[in-house]
Copies of this chain bind each other. A is one copy, B any other.
Amino acid sequence: MSIKVVLTEDEIPRQWYNLAADLPSPMQPPLGPDGNPVSPDMLAPVFPMNLIEQEVSQERWIDIPEEVLELLYRWRPSPLHRAYALEKALGTPAKIYYKNESVSPAGSHKPNTAIPQAWYNKEFGIERLTTETGAGQWGSALAFAGALVGLEVKVYMVRISFDQKPFRKVMMETWGGKCVPSPSNETQAGRDILAKMPDTPGSLGIAISEAVEAAVTDPTGKTRYALGSVLNHVMLHQTIIGLETKKQLEKIGEKKVDTVIACAGGGSNFAGLAFPFVHDKINGAQIDIIPVEPSSCPTMTRAPFVYDFGDTAQMTPLLPMYSLGHNFIPPPIHAGGLRYHGMAPLVSAAIRENLITPRAIHQLECYQAAILFARTEGIIVAPETSHAVAGAIQEAKKAKEEGKEKVIVFGLSGHGLMDLLGYEKYFAGELHDYALPEEELKKSLDDSLQGLPKPAGV
């Protein structure tokens, strides 16, 4: 009856893993608008110094504060499940495991970093956080963390998602947070975009601009910005997912993992599960590690490795990453959390080092995979997560063709109970696949990257 592997309180990891310490080549630094590296001081208006220290840390292991552990422990360690029923439905010799992050009160992996970010801000004397959200998972998670830690939270939510998912706002308000659709009239960045494109569906890039502006322009100095993905310290906090997973596999005597799969929008969910396995790979283990993205927003599979802004209004530093261009506005697919033009610098570095192998999958295949998963394993996954399910099913079918008893582990980053509109449209036949035209990609890159410095070695 070992369908589910649980860890006890004693077995929860007490340190996060920092991939930056182990990369074969050092990361290239973020750059300011002048092309010079950004110093920690320059980030101080945006983030508290204790998180900036984590952002630039080269320590391999970083202690999780006891108070953070206590809060995480409310729902962690999360279960690791063996997908017997899915395996049977596929007739595959592969063993499929999934790490279930849907059990958090916010329904996704996002609280893994929302809690420590809120806690470090509180420690630093901050009273109020601003942030952006795409699908709503991150905004909800930060509102949740704000309630538990005792901080005000203001969320700028990408308009298309705000309209598709009105209850996300109610969810954030129930936790005491505030939520407005982005672009909004509350910031200069929002007003500028609305003047140019009044009907824009919005994007994570725009919402980030608004949230950063709202934080840095607060005259009290007691507001900071919190980012739900992309940055190094966010990847760091999420590694508790993969560290738990490794302990769980060890506990049931599963010695060799062949394939690790997770969806990637900004990269934090993927990094969380995968980086502890990347660590093994750097140390000689043979593992296929696959971040999956939507074909309609193919950052890792079709975009170049460049220096680009993390947001549309060019308020962030330039980050060394794969990017479709900061002016790119992804099509309004339902996997709102994967609608981002860039990719976390740490994930981008791992791609550059050939440590991981990105894959793009179309949306219809992802919904098909999610429905098969719901009808076998019983969990209705988020549209983002459906990309990982589809990737795992591709690998399980390949194992069947090859007759190999592979061990596949994928990340179930969140449930889809707040995102059923996409399923409804899928059933109604209203969803279609969308491959980004080459000209459109080229135009976005030309518009976005002109005059920007290039990373070394490109």
Interface of A with B (CB < 8 Å)?
A: 1-4, 6, 8-9, 66, 69-70, 73-75, 81, 85, 103, 105, 107, 144, 147-148, 166-167, 170-171, 173-176, 370-371, 374-380, 415, 417-418, 420-421, 423-424, 427
Q: Name 17 A/B residue pairs within 8 A (Cβ), A-sorted.
A: A1-B66, A1-B69, A1-B70, A3-B73, A4-B9, A4-B74, A6-B9, A144-B378, A147-B374, A147-B376, A147-B378, A167-B420, A170-B427, A171-B420, A174-B375, A174-B420, A417-B417
Contacting residue for A174 out of B70, B103, B423, CB 8 A? B423
Contact check, A74 vs B147: say whether CB atoms are below 8 A apart.
no
CB-nearest residue of chain B to A5? B9
6 tightest Cβ-Cβ pairs between the two chains A and B:
A167-B420, A170-B420, A147-B375, A170-B424, A105-B378, A105-B379
Cβ–Cβ < 8 Å partners of A70 in chain B? 1, 3
| Main DSSP-derived SS at the A contact region | helix
CB-nearest residue of chain B to A66? B1
Given known contacts A105-B380, A144-B378, A378-B144, is B171 in contact with A4 (CB within 8 Å)?
no
With A147-B374, A171-B417, A174-B380 given, can you name 14 additional A-B contacts, CB distance below 8 Å?
Answer: A1-B73, A3-B70, A4-B74, A6-B6, A103-B103, A105-B380, A107-B417, A147-B376, A147-B378, A167-B420, A170-B420, A174-B371, A175-B375, A417-B417
Contact check, A167 vs B85: say whether CB atoms are below 8 A apart.
no
Provide the bound-state CA to CA distance between A81 and B175, in Å.
19
Given known contacts A9-B1, A85-B148, A167-B420, is B374 in contact with A175 (CB within 8 Å)?
yes
Provide the bound-state CA to CA distance between A102 and B423, in Å.
22
Given known contacts A1-B73, A417-B107, is B6 in contact with A174 (CB within 8 Å)?
no
Contact check, B174 vs A374: say whether CB atoms are below 8 A apart.
yes
Contact check, A74 vs B81: say whether CB atoms are below 8 A apart.
yes
Provide the bound-state CA to CA distance between A237 and B105, in Å.
26
Provide the bound-state CA to CA distance between A453 and B375, in Å.
46
CB-nearest residue of chain B to A107? B417
Cβ–Cβ < 8 Å partners of A427 in chain B? 170, 173
- Write the nearest CB–CB distance from A161 to chain B, whole angstroms: 15
- Write the nearest CB–CB distance from A437 to chain B, whole angstroms: 32
Given known contacts A375-B175, A378-B147, is B4 in contact with A167 (CB within 8 Å)?
no
Provide the bound-state CA to CA distance between A420 and B427, in Å.
23
CB-nearest residue of chain B to A8? B6
Provide the bound-state CA to CA distance between A375 and B176, in Å.
7
- Write the nearest CB–CB distance from A69 to chain B, whole angstroms: 7
Cβ–Cβ < 8 Å partners of A85 in chain B? 148
- Write the nearest CB–CB distance from A137 to chain B, whole angstroms: 12
Contact check, B378 vs A148: say whether CB atoms are below 8 A apart.
yes
